Amino acid sequence: MSNLRCLVVGASIAGPATAYWLAKTGAQVTVIERFSQLRTNGQNVDIRTTGVSVMRMMPGMEEAVRATLQPMHGFSVVREDGYSYGTMKPTGDPNRQSLISEYEILRGDLSQILYDMTKDHKSIKYIFGEQVASIQQQPESSNGPVRVEFLNGTPSTEYDLVIACDGATSRTRAIGLGCGKRDYVHPMNAWAAFFSVKQDLLCGSQIGNLYSAVNGRVIGVGPGQNGGNLITMMGVNLDDTDTNGAMANFHEASRLGTEALKKFVARQFEGAGWKADEIVRGMMEADDFYGSEWVQVKPPTLHKGRFVMVGDAGYGPGPTGTGTSLALTGAYLLAGEVGKHSGDLAAALRGYEKQIRPLVETMQKVPPLFPGMFAPQSRWGIWVRNMCFAFICWSRLPFLLEKLFGAASSSADEYQIPDYQWNE
């Protein structure tokens, strides 16, 4: 299908990856991004399981990723006085990873790599500062293209396929499926804030620290590439009713903007101990701060007519650590099925959904002990978790990791993906 016209919405990981593989089918691809430039900030992300397999099929990508890996050699769980209960390190085998990935990279760096691999391709065009206003589908019987109208001046255009790659809170999903923005979004009753600080709280160490305080408060400190530290601060509420209003307050602060959200995080970590006060002071000065809610995305279908979703927009996995791998794999499978069913987009989209669904169901499974083990609510719970972590580090038994952390610690060989034929 050499003349297929595709619109990809979103330029962070899933979008460029989808453009890359669609171009290999001979399609003409336009990628739009609502921000005025490529977003190069963000937290650490991991490439695991099928994501590793797909990465290795993209010439030069593994080398580029390895050249930009985060300088973290492991992480320790620490108590308030800084005592370490053990250190978990990479396995040294990229095909079977622990909680520390062999391919741990900043989200922005990975987006940049994928953008650089696609920006000069003759069949791929990027438009920044643009959003979809409407998607007008033809009657199903006509098998005709869709007309897309844009918000910021791009002329309305007809496309054969529109692909939403704009994240778990996808605005395009709501337009394409004709649903509400929060429909099919399943809250995990948790939030996270990400930023960097100039001071080196690890004193030169390449071992990250993880600290827990009561009420599900978690601080992660990792080494940065420029001498400072990368910080993650999380609040996990195991009460589904949210009786303390934490998530409602997070949403309200998010609506009011960055400064309000910083103040919300600061209030949450009052009296948390360890280095919390110093980290909060650094957060207030950070210019790369952003926060997000942990959610899973579970729509009943991944496509409607000539509209389809890839990555977090269609199957955000929440806290399982597999979102990047699902995005890379989804991009590969969608384009592969489009090429396989040349001339029959309906069959291609059915094939894509059939191929990706079993993987999504596996990758979205949150291990039953994970929330409580990751973010204990009480001092007793924190002590138990720390003892368990110390035992796992001491024992180095892989089956314990797989029981506790699920698909994120599984082998890449456990998931087989099809081998497609490409035009290029």
pLDDT for 95: 56
Query: The domain 5-69+101-184+298-365 is classified under which CATH number: 3.40.50.2000, 1.20.1250.20, 3.50.50.60, 3.30.420.40?
Result: 3.50.50.60
pLDDT for 39: 85
pLDDT for 226: 76
User: Is there a contact between 407 and 359 (Cβ–Cβ < 8 Å)?
Assistant: no
**For the chain, domain boundaries:** 5-69+101-184+298-365, 185-295
pLDDT for 242: 58
pLDDT for 258: 94
Burial class from Cβ neighbours inside 10 Å (0-12, 13-18, 19+) for residue 140 reads exposed
Interatomic CA distance for residues 315 and 186, integer angstroms: 11
pLDDT for 241: 56
pLDDT for 404: 55
Q: How far is CA 155 from CA 5, 165, 171, in A?
A: 15, 21, 19
Each residue's pLDDT tens digit, 197-219: 999 999 888 888 999 999 999 99
pLDDT for 144: 83
Question: In 3-state terms, what secondary structure has residue 416?
Answer: coil
**For the chain, which residues score pLDDT lower than 70?**
1-2, 71, 90-101, 141-142, 239-244, 369, 396-414
Each residue's pLDDT tens digit, 284-342: 999 989 899 999 999 999 999 999 999 999 999 988 888 999 999 999 999 999 999 98
Interatomic CA distance for residues 280 and 282, integer angstroms: 5
Each residue's pLDDT tens digit, 343-385: 899 999 999 999 999 999 999 988 776 777 788 889 999 999 8
